[in-house]
């Protein structure tokens, strides 16, 4: 069955791989971008998720063009790393406003139509840092941990309506976000990952696609790690 899917930050990186995975199986896929335009073959809406009015307008456009959003993938996110003592309040709140409040804005907007349809899938892209912690990422880890509480609370609120809310927690993935690491840092991180390597974006996308499927309807409030074993036990 073809579904309407919205992937925030689906113009590049992990979000793009997720959007392409849904498009490949025949779903109607929209991605948000911030002016870069939509990747070929995907429907694009300009949207900054820190702006509630922009989120509302983006959903309205997608609803008009592709129908109500049935699968929301809240993927857009940023880092702004530094140690706690050096972190400014602006660095903290900006990351929270994008990664956590931005995801909430989208989930809230999507949920009204999902409730009406009595079906929905909300998937939050978190991070191994959210549960494992990471020096220099107090802001980022807090935002990503918050997504777990959000998904579980949505599960308790909307679980009886065929709406699931889950979290995918990737480890290190080959994208622009990790391209900033030096080779020495990459080697050190790879050594600490049981799989011995970073993930491809497609490996994250396949977990997301699976969670959105009809046969994953009894999985909700779960945290699915895609981290090569890095965060085991958390």
Question: Which member of 96, 177, 213, 219 binds ligand NDP (CB under 6 A)?
Answer: 177
Helix H, strand E, coil C: the string for 150-190 is HHHHHHHHHHHHCEEEEEEEECCECCHHHHCCCHHHHHHHH
d(C-alpha 113, C-alpha 92), whole Å = 32
What are the E-state strand segments in the chain? 4-7, 28-33, 43-46, 71-74, 120-125, 163-170, 223-226
**Is there a catalytic annotation at residue 189?**
no
- Among 132, 140, 189, 218, the one annotated catalytic: 140
32 binds ligand NDP per the rule CB under 6 A: yes
Query: Closer to ligand NDP at the Cβ: 49 or 214?
Result: 49
Say which residues have a Cβ less than 8 Å from residue 79's Cβ, sequence separation at least 6. 95, 137, 140, 177
Query: Closer to ligand NDP at the Cβ: 111 or 129?
Result: 129
Q: CB under 6 A: which stretch of 56-64, 69-77, 87-95, 154-162 binds ligand NDP? A: 69-77
Question: Which member of 2, 24, 26, 34 binds ligand NDP (CB under 6 A)?
Answer: 34
Quote the least distance from Cβ 218 to ligand NDP, whole Å. Answer: 25
Q: How many residues does the chain have?
A: 234
- Are 8 and 195 within 8 A, CB to CB? no
Q: Tell me the backbone φ, ψ of residue 199, rounded to 5 degrees.
A: -85, 155
Q: CB under 6 A: which stretch of 106-114, 149-157, 166-174, 205-213 binds ligand NDP? A: 166-174
Query: Closer to ligand NDP at the Cβ: 49 or 212?
Result: 49
Query: Closer to ligand NDP at the Cβ: 120 or 231?
Result: 231
Q: CB under 6 A: which stretch of 6-14, 37-45, 105-113, 115-123 binds ligand NDP? A: 6-14
| Distances from the Cα of 111 to the Cα of 69, 135, 155, 182, 205, angstroms | 9, 34, 11, 41, 22
Total binding residues for ligand NDP by CB under 6 A? 30
Question: Which member of 7, 30, 76, 114 binds ligand NDP (CB under 6 A)?
Answer: 76
75 binds ligand NDP per the rule CB under 6 A: yes
Query: Closer to ligand NDP at the Cβ: 163 or 173?
Result: 173
d(C-alpha 118, C-alpha 113), whole Å = 8
Residues acting as catalytic residues: 140
């Amino acid at each position: 069955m073809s579904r309407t899917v919205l992937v925030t930050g689906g113009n590049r990186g992990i979000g793009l791989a997720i959007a392409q995975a849904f498009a490949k199986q025949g779903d109607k896929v929209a991605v948000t971008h911030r002016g870069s335009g939509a990747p070929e073959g995907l429907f694009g809406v300009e949207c900054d998720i820190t702006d509630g009015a922009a989120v509302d307008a983006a959903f309205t456009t997608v609803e008009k063009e592709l129908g109500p959003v049935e699968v929301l993938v809240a993927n857009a996110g940023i880092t702004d790393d530094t140690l706690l003592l050096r972190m400014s309040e602006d660095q903290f709140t900006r990351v929270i406003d994008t990664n956590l409040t931005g995801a909430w804005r989208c989930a809230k907007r999507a949920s009204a139509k999902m409730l009406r349809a009595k079906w929905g899938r909300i998937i939050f892209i978190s991070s191994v840092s959210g549960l494992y912690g990471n020096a220099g990422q107090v802001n980022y880890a807090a935002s990503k941990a918050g997504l777990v509480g959000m998904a579980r609370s949505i599960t308790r609120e909307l679980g009886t309506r065929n709406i699931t809310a889950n979290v995918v927690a990737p480890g290190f993935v080959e994208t622009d976000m990790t391209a900033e690491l030096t080779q020495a840092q990459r080697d050190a991180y790879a050594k600490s990952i049981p799989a011995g390597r970073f993930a491809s974006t497609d490996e994250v996308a396949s977990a997301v696609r699976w969670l959105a499927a009809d046969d994953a309807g009894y999985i909700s409030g779960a945290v699915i790690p895609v981290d090569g074993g890095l965060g085991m036990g958390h």
